[in-house]
């Protein structure tokens, strides 16, 4: 069973009373799905941080990097705090309310010249994109036919024109050579639409890292400002993590 990230929602975590028989300062956390099905059991020292707990769940196969939890009325939103500082001790039960990314809906919105407006959806999309890119080699070996495009520079209408002209994936296979962001005013939507197609058709959409896809360049030429204006600096940093995972060269036939 695959589990995904969910927006912050109250009463996600239910905590049982501390078990007096717990050994030492370890915290035994039973993780349940929202339907009550047990996902896993994690045992961690009480001085482990919330971030370490999330990483532990990730090693169990569950994508929860952006998961925000609450315990009753207490929001568990500080990754640096320890389990003990949150008042978790003994045996506790954590319930995850989970949400998937509606790829088709977002593609439809962006193709209709709309925008992605939910930061949580962008974070989840970036997590998927990063995972896909890290599983690809730095040198892509591709077979034609291919439509090759480059230098979109945040112009979403240019990307839509390309798809209108040559066909949406999977009708055509695409290789994008980079420079997706900065200069234009719709960098998030431009790169976001490509990530959505990459998620849906990973063998039909190939994306290389360009000069604009780094922290120093995108910080100067507009992408940083767009992320900060529409969402937050954290959103920009999330995109940078995706850029850092992208392949940078392709060999065609």
Beta bridge partners of 109: none
What pLDDT, on a 0 to 100 scale, did the predictor assign at position 150? 93
Which pairs from 39-48 meet CB under 8 Å and 24+ separation? 39/1, 39/3, 39/96, 44/83, 45/83, 46/82, 46/83, 46/84, 46/88, 46/89, 47/82, 47/83, 47/84, 48/82, 48/83
Tokens read off for 92? 């506790």
Beta bridge partners of 76: 69
* pLDDT tens digits, 173-207: 999 999 999 988 999 999 999 999 999 999 999 99
Residues 6+ apart with CB under 8 A from 113: 156, 157, 160
* pLDDT tens digits, 103-157: 899 999 999 999 999 887 898 899 889 989 999 999 999 999 999 999 999 999 9
Strand-pair category, 26-33 with 38-45: antiparallel
Report the range out of 9-18, 30-39, 88-97, 227-236 with the highest average pLDDT: 227-236
* Averaged confidence pLDDT in the chain: 82
Q: Cβ of 118: how many Cβ atoms within 10 Å?
A: 12
């Amino acid at each position: 069973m695959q589990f995904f990230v969910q927006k912050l929602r109250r009463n996600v975590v239910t905590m049982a009373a501390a078990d007096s028989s717990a050994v030492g300062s370890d915290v035994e956390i039973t993780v349940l799905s929202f339907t009550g099905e047990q996902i896993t059991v994690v045992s961690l020292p009480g001085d482990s941080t919330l971030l370490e707990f999330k990483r532990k769940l990730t090693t169990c196969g569950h994508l929860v990097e952006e998961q925000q939890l609450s315990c009753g009325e207490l929001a568990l939103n500080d990754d640096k705090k320890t389990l003990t500082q949150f008042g978790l001790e003994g045996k506790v039960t954590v319930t995850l309310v989970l949400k998937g990314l509606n790829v088709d809906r977002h593609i439809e919105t962006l193709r209709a010249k709309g925008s992605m407006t939910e930061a949580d959806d962008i974070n989840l999309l970036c997590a998927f994109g990063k995972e896909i890119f890290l599983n690809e080699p730095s040198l892509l070996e591709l077979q034609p036919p291919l439509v090759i495009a480059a230098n979109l520079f945040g112009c979403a209408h240019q990307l839509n024109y390309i798809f209108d002209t040559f066909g949406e994936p999977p009708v055509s296979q695409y290789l994008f050579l980079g420079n997706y962001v900065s200069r234009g005013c719709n960098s998030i939507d431009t790169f976001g639409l490509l990530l959505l197609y990459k998620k849906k058709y990973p063998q039909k959409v190939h994306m290389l890292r360009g000069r604009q896809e780094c922290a120093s360049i995108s910080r100067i030429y507009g992408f940083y400002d767009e992320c900060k204006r529409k969402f937050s600096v954290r959103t920009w940093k999330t995109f940078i993590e995706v850029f850092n995972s992208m392949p940078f060269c392709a060999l065609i036939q």
